[in-house]
A and B are shown apart, each in its own frame.
Chain A
Amino acid sequence: MKDRLEIVASGFGGQGVVRLGQVLGEAAVKEGLRVTMLKSHGTEMRGGYVRSQVVLSPKTIDSPMCENPDFFVALSSAAYNRFKDTVPQEGLILFDPAFVEEIDAKLPCAQRELPAKQLALDNFGRVIFSNSIALGAMARLLEGQLKKEGILESLLEIIPKFHQENRDAFEIGYNYMN
């Protein structure tokens, strides 16, 4: 585990931006790590701007801000454009092309596409499972930092319904990142 791992997720309210951070954070707590997660949002619960900033560390965390995120999950064009420049060269942006239309090819960091919305529609006929697909993808990207099983376990604890579908969605995301 790195001394400090930063994960930012941002998009619209209702996409599961906060849930995503919460699941990863919960998995980290299970491994005995220290965790902070800031969430910022507008007045609206659905449709408004949302960002969660997760910091994981084996030590006490001072600043809870993700100034140079190791991972940035971009779920809207506005979010992508607002935070893309904070990702350092060794960082990675994971974006859903259904929401992020235009990619800045000049960025120094790695960028990977995850069509979570489309995969959810194709496999389940419902967009709601795209968040579990994104979590599966993050589980692959975080290998060596967080245990896959811990993330899945936290996901099933935090989202109490549709366990089989969420498991399947998680695996779809995990395998997509091959």
Chain B
Amino acid sequence: MKRFLETGNFAITEGAILAGCRFFCGYPITPATELAEAMSKRLPQEGGVYLQAEDECAAMHLCIGASLGGMKSMTATSGPGFILYADPYGWALGCEMPLVVVNSGRVGPVSGITGAPGQGEFYLTRYPTQGGNFECITLAPNSAQEAMAMVVEAFYLSERFRMPITVLVDQLITDGFEDITVPESEEEMRQMGFKTWPRAFCAGPDFYPFTDDLDIPPVQMGSGAGGMCSDWTPTVEGYDIEEVDAHHKHAYRLIYKVRNHRDMFNHLYEKKFMDDDPELVVVSYGTPSRVVNTAVDQARARGLKVGALRLINLWPFPDEHFARKAKYLAVELNWDGQLVREVQRAATKDAEVHFLGSCGDLPTIPDLLENFEKLLKNQPLTRKGWELEAW
């Protein structure tokens, strides 16, 4: 294994290469530009192809094209580009094309602030396209090292589920430097828990089964098997159709192949001090969770019964973690509260759910500790002059 001081963009690039990615197409955007740059350098060394598209919509379409041609492919962007993936994301979901999409969150809405982190696309990664009738899988690592691991995992899941997978990171992960360990052999990859899944091809005659089965290989264009892969509703055989019965089968597959195989990703979370019925459970994902971890350590040292739950798999949302009667505090990098809404939906009726937001800067430890104490004393939360009880 080799150790580097490098950025998350580097870690994600190396993770993708290890997973077998040989095609990258994107449109540069801070804080994911260096990812495209690193791919443009690394892919030719590995016999792969790097392309810069005219815009994000074209970039993801080109990735789907590469996937239809039999290559493992990836694209990367930030929020303003992720929204432009809406059209091709739907196509990839509907035609079940494996693909990895990296979104590095910065401050929004729209172009917002480029060089500062935000978490504004929590729900957008659940609904990255229109029309409904699908489930999505989103993985949200909290460090450069874990981003490498989760990109490898995303490629693995994308092949097995035959669908695009989003890796949601933020500016601090992609732009930030960290000591990163890169495996140099398959043996070292196994030691680090990296799993890969080879690309296989649909031999037909059907395009998709009317079941929730995994490990159905994707179509390869020109191989004489499978579907038309258009953006219309496909029949099981892969022809375009506009009939409700056929749509029902297709929707069943897109929804239940994910819902019925949650064991593939629902182990992706981290718990801290959760075994002694903490009065307050702090819920977070991505880089804020690292500050939360330190703050929770310090809270415990002060005798406060606080626990931390960090989600890595965001979608489908892991409702099973919110069955206990406790106070929940969602800590997020936005002011509007997104994760907190999902926590409130998932939590038991007699749980209390609170929100603490910041954007562009991580929350500070004293700020977190002060708010933990307030909640444990049943006092309302305030921050920057905003009353946040009624988020």
Contact = CB atoms under 8 A, between A and B. Distances in A.
A62 B365 CA distance: 12
A39 B115 CA distance: 8
Interface in A42-76: 42-43, 61-65, 67
Given A38-B172, A63-B362, A67-B365, A29 B291 contact: no
A37 interface: yes
Contact of B178 (A36, A41, A43, A65): A36
Nearest to B297: A62
Contact of A62 (B5, B30, B294): B294
A72 B323 CA distance: 45
A26 B364 CA distance: 26
B29 to A, nearest CB: 12
A15 to B, nearest CB: 16
A64 B176 contact: yes
Given A29-B5, A35-B5, A41 B177 contact: no
A37 B177 contact: yes
Interface in B154-193: 172, 175-179
B375 to A, nearest CB: 20
B291 A63 contact: yes
A62 B172 CA distance: 13
A43 B365 CA distance: 28
A63 B294 CA distance: 6
A16 interface: no
Contacts of A89: none
A132 interface: no
A29 B176 contact: no
A35 B291 contact: no
B290 A64 contact: yes
A147 interface: no
Contact of B4 (A29, A62, A63): A29
Interface in B1-37: 3-5, 30
Given A29-B5, A63-B362, A67-B364, A39 B293 contact: no
Which range contains the number of A residues in contact with the other chain? 20 to 34
B362 A65 contact: yes
Contacts of A29: 3-5, 179
A39 B5 contact: no
B334 interface: no
A175 to B, nearest CB: 27
A22 interface: yes
Contacts of A35: 5, 177-179
Contact of B291 (A21, A28, A39, A62): A62
- Interface residues of A, dominant DSSP: mixed
A40 interface: yes
Contacts of B297: 62
A33 B5 CA distance: 11
B176 A43 contact: no
A28 B177 CA distance: 12
A39 B114 contact: no
B116 interface: yes
A136 interface: no
Contact of A39 (B175, B179, B362): B175
Contacts of B175: 38-39
B290 A62 contact: yes
A25 interface: yes
B178 A37 contact: yes
A99 B290 CA distance: 34
Contact of B290 (A37, A43, A63): A63
B294 A36 contact: no
A63 B5 contact: no
A167 interface: no
Nearest to B114: A43
Given A25-B5, A29-B4, A42-B115, A65 B291 contact: yes
Nearest to A51: B115
A64 B287 contact: yes
A59 to B, nearest CB: 12
A38 B297 CA distance: 22
Contacts of A33: 179
B290 A26 contact: no
A36 B179 CA distance: 7
Nearest to B172: A38
A43 B114 CA distance: 6
Closest 5 A/B residue pairs (Cβ):
A37-B177, A41-B115, A63-B294, A62-B293, A63-B291
Given A25-B179, A64-B178, 5 more contacts: A25-B177, A37-B178, A38-B172, A38-B175, A63-B291
Interface of A: 21-22, 25-26, 28-29, 33-43, 61-65, 67
27 contacts: A22-B5, A25-B5, A25-B177, A25-B179, A26-B5, A28-B5, A29-B3, A29-B179, A35-B179, A37-B5, A37-B177, A38-B176, A39-B115, A39-B175, A40-B116, A43-B115, A62-B291, A62-B294, A62-B297, A63-B290, A63-B294, A63-B295, A63-B362, A65-B291, A65-B362, A65-B365, A67-B365
Interface of B: 3-5, 30, 114-116, 172, 175-179, 287, 290-291, 293-295, 297, 362, 364-366
